């Protein structure tokens, strides 16, 4: 194969992979909104969406169409360019980090990794870099709206996201110390197998059992980073009308909405990969099943996290702002630092 | 690769100009973020993915967020141009050009256009950078972090209200 056609092949395969991943991602996001409404409704003894399709299954489609056809109201005094830029930035960044997430076991199709868009050797840092830029979309949306409630929401969120980003990064350092790599695929592959002693022969070799504190820190910080209940102060309907997206309507509002769900999926994927062994699980049967089962395990684990997110939303009240800051800086950050210290000490001791 | 370099370099220069030419502080800050992003791309092309990612995380993701937040807090809109200093008005341009020529001259003398890039003998991966920072240069590294900590403490004490 000469270089030109192999380059063409590479581009074609990459485009197909990107399109498939984006379609799956958007479908999952759409049905995540349905799931959220359903689960929260059942927690509150209601039925939730029921009329559009069986059990309201077509509700996401109806919502999407509604968002597309609604009138797009742009307030008079907004900063035009940034007002337009912010929602697109939010959505692009939210979808970008999915590029380095591996969905399934290592399988090469004509020299291309089948279940991952690209395997960076600094994959984890890439996700953190993209997430750290996500705060701009919210801050800029709040500022450019030129209105007091969005501005307050934007300010709150930038302070909150910077604060919790530190805990988020520090929480995973324990895992990195154990696995010794920043590649997400490498981190998962290092968790293969079962515990040799003390696990009754059924406990999988997940990082969760080595880093329970790290996991708790990670997940708490991740919820705050994605602005979900109980840390949803940037939105805070009862205090700020709707927070940073008060002045947005129609499709631009939908983009913010979608990016919030995409971010939830990203941090859930990351939690699965870092602490719950990613796609690893019992694999059996013929060749095609051996290929697809890991993907199923991965999706199941991610689904559990997403369900947990929704469960929390139906259960917990919102933090007060000073409580949020005190919790992040005075409890979560020291805990994450202590976790690194203890992990390092044990690793030096055990060798 | 070369095409990507020229795109990133051109983007960095254009955005860099827009940092100083824009009158709205938020636009200047945003342009600076674009500059940092373009530099990250150049680091990637140089085979230093770790530095590229850290560049984005630390500069674009943390420091510039603080800048943007302060601009938002002060709610700074358009700046009014002030033409008070005639001295700066007439001398600014020539001094700038002189400085630029001087830097270019120094760079050209150090690295002639025909020369191949010097082999550093370094890998850009996280492990080798970690070795350099925590083994070879551990003392300068720690001294720098103490210095930053002291500066931070000073800022906190200065900003604190007097009792």
Mean pLDDT of B32-49: 88
The pLDDT, as a whole number, for residue A143 is: 82
The pLDDT, as a whole number, for residue B142 is: 93
Cβ contacts of B69 on chain A, cutoff 8 Å: 139, 155, 158-159
Topology at the third CATH level for domain B1-79: 1.20.120
The pLDDT, as a whole number, for residue A1 is: 44
Q: Check B126 against A128: CB less than 8 A apart.
A: no
CA distance A61 to A27: 10
Per-residue pLDDT of chain A (351 residues), as tens digits, is: 455 567 777 788 888 888 888 898 888 888 888 888 888 888 888 888 888 778 878 888 888 888 888 887 777 777 778 888 888 888 898 888 888 888 877 777 766 677 777 777 788 888 888 888 888 888 888 888 877 788 888 888 888 888 888 888 888 888 888 888 888 888 888 887 777 666 566 777 788 888 888 899 999 998 888 888 787 776 666 666 667 777 787 788 888 888 888 888 999 998 988 888 888 877 777 777 877 888 888 888 899 999 998 888 888 888 888 888 888 889 999 999 999 999 889 888 886
Touching B: A residues 45-84, CB under 8 Å: 79, 82
Listed residue (A227, A229, A231) closest to A257, CA to CA? A227
Option in A136, A154, A182 nearest B126 (CB): A182
Query: Coil, strand or helix: which one is A112?
Result: strand
Listed residue (A29, A32, A15) closest to A94, CA to CA? A29
CB of A123 closer than 8 Å to CB of A215: no
pLDDT above 80: residue B116: no
Confidence grade of residue B153 (pLDDT, cut at 50, 70, 90): very high
Give, rounded to a whole angstrom, the gap between the first and last alpha carbons of chain A.
48
- Burial code (b: 16+ CB inside 10 Å, e: under 16) for B17-41 equals ebbeebebbbbbbbbbbbbbbbbbb
Q: Rounded to the nearest 5°, which phi and psi values hold at A205? A: -80, 60
Q: Check B62 against A121: CB less than 8 A apart.
A: no
CB of A264 closer than 8 Å to CB of A32: yes
Q: Rounded to the nearest 5°, which phi and psi values hold at A105? A: -65, 165
Q: Check A79 against B69: CB less than 8 A apart.
A: no
- Burial code (b: 16+ CB inside 10 Å, e: under 16) for A31-45 equals ebbbbbbbbbbeeee
Query: Coil, strand or helix: which one is B75?
Result: coil
A164 in contact with B at a CB cutoff of 8 Å? no
Option in B30, B57, B69 nearest A155 (CB): B69
CA distance A91 to A266: 12
A128 in contact with B at a CB cutoff of 8 Å? yes
pLDDT above 60: residue B121: no
Confidence grade of residue B148 (pLDDT, cut at 50, 70, 90): very high
ipTM for the complex shown: 0.78
Q: Check A122 against B60: CB less than 8 A apart.
A: no
Given phi > 0 = left and psi -120 to 50 = alpha, else beta, which region is A97? alpha
Domain spans, chain B: 1-79, 126-163
The alpha carbon of residue A324 is apart from the nearest alpha carbon of chain B, in Å, by: 18
The pLDDT, as a whole number, for residue B35 is: 92
A326 in contact with B at a CB cutoff of 8 Å? no
Question: Does the reported pTM lie above 0.80?
Answer: yes
pLDDT above 70: residue B89: yes
CA distance A148 to A34: 31
Option in B56, B72, B125 nearest A139 (CB): B72
CA distance B123 to B130: 11
The pLDDT, as a whole number, for residue B154 is: 92
CB of A90 closer than 8 Å to CB of A84: no
Q: How far is CA A107 from CA A13, A290, A292, in A?
A: 14, 11, 11
CA distance A18 to A239: 40
- Burial code (b: 16+ CB inside 10 Å, e: under 16) for A96-115 equals bbbbbbbbbbeeeeeeebbb
Cβ contacts of A133 on chain B, cutoff 8 Å: 56, 60-61
Tokens of A137: 């979309």
Confidence grade of residue B38 (pLDDT, cut at 50, 70, 90): very high
Average pLDDT of the residues of chain B: 83
């Amino acid at each position: 194969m000469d270089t030109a056609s192999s380059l063409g092949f590479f581009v074609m395969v990459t485009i197909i992979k990107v399109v498939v991943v984006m379609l799956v991602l958007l479908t999952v996001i759409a049905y995540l909104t349905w799931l959220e409404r359903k689960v929260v409704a059942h927690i509150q003894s209601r039925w939730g969406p029921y009329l559009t399709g069986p059990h309201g299954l077509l509700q996401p489609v109806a919502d999407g169409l509604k968002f597309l056809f609604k009138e797009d109201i742009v307030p008079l005094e907004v900063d035009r360019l940034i007002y337009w830029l912010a929602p697109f930035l939010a959505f692009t960044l939210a979808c970008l980090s999915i590029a380095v997430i591996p969905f399934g076991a290592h399988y090469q199709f004509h020299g291309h990794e089948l279940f991952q868009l690209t395997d960076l050797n600094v994959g984890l840092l890439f996700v953190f870099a993209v997430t750290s830029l996500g705060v701009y979309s919210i801050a800029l949306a709040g500022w450019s709206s030129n209105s007091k409630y969005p501005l307050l929401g934007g300010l709150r969120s930038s302070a909150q996201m910077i604060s919790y980003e530190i805990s988020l990064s520090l929480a995973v350092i324990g895992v990195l110390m154990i696995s010794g790599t920043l590649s997400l695929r490498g981190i998962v592959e290092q968790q293969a197998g079962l515990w040799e002693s003390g696990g009754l022969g059924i406990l999988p070799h997940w990082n969760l059992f080595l880093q329970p504190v790290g996991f708790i820190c990670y997940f708490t910080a991740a919820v705050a980073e994605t602005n979900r209940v109980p840390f949803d102060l940037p939105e805070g309907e009862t205090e700020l009308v709707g927070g940073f997206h008060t002045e947005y309507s129609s499709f631009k509002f939908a983009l913010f909405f979608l990016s919030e769900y995409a971010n939830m999926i990203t941090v859930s994927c990351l939690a699965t990969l870092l602490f719950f062994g990613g796609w690893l699980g019992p694999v059996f049967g013929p060749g095609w099943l051996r290929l697809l089962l890991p993907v199923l395990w991965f999706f199941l684990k991610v689904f559990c996290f997403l369900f947990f997110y929704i469960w929390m939303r139906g259960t917990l009240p919102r933090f007060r702002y000073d409580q949020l800051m005190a919790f992040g800086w005075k409890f979560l950050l020291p805990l994450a630092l202590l976790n690194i210290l203890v992990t390092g000490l044990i690793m030096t001791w055990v060798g | 690769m070369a095409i990507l370099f020229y795109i990133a370099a051109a983007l960095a220069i254009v955005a860099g100009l827009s940092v100083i030419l824009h009158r709205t502080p938020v636009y200047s800050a945003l342009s600076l973020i674009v500059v940092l992003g373009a530099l990250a791309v150049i680091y990637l092309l140089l085979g230093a993915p770790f530095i590229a990612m850290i560049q984005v995380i630390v500069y674009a993701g943390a420091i510039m967020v603080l800048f943007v937040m302060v601009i938002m807090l002060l709610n700074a809109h358009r700046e009014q141009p002030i033409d008070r200093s005639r001295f700066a008005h007439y001398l600014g341009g020539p001094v700038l050009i002189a400085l630029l020529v001087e830097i270019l001259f120094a760079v050209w003398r150090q690295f002639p256009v025909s020369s191949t890039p010097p082999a550093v003998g370094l890998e850009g991966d996280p492990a080798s950078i970690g070795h350099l920072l925590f083994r070879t240069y551990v003392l300068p590294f720690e001294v720098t972090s103490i210095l930053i900590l002291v500066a931070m403490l000073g800022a906190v004490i200065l900003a604190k209200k007097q009792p």
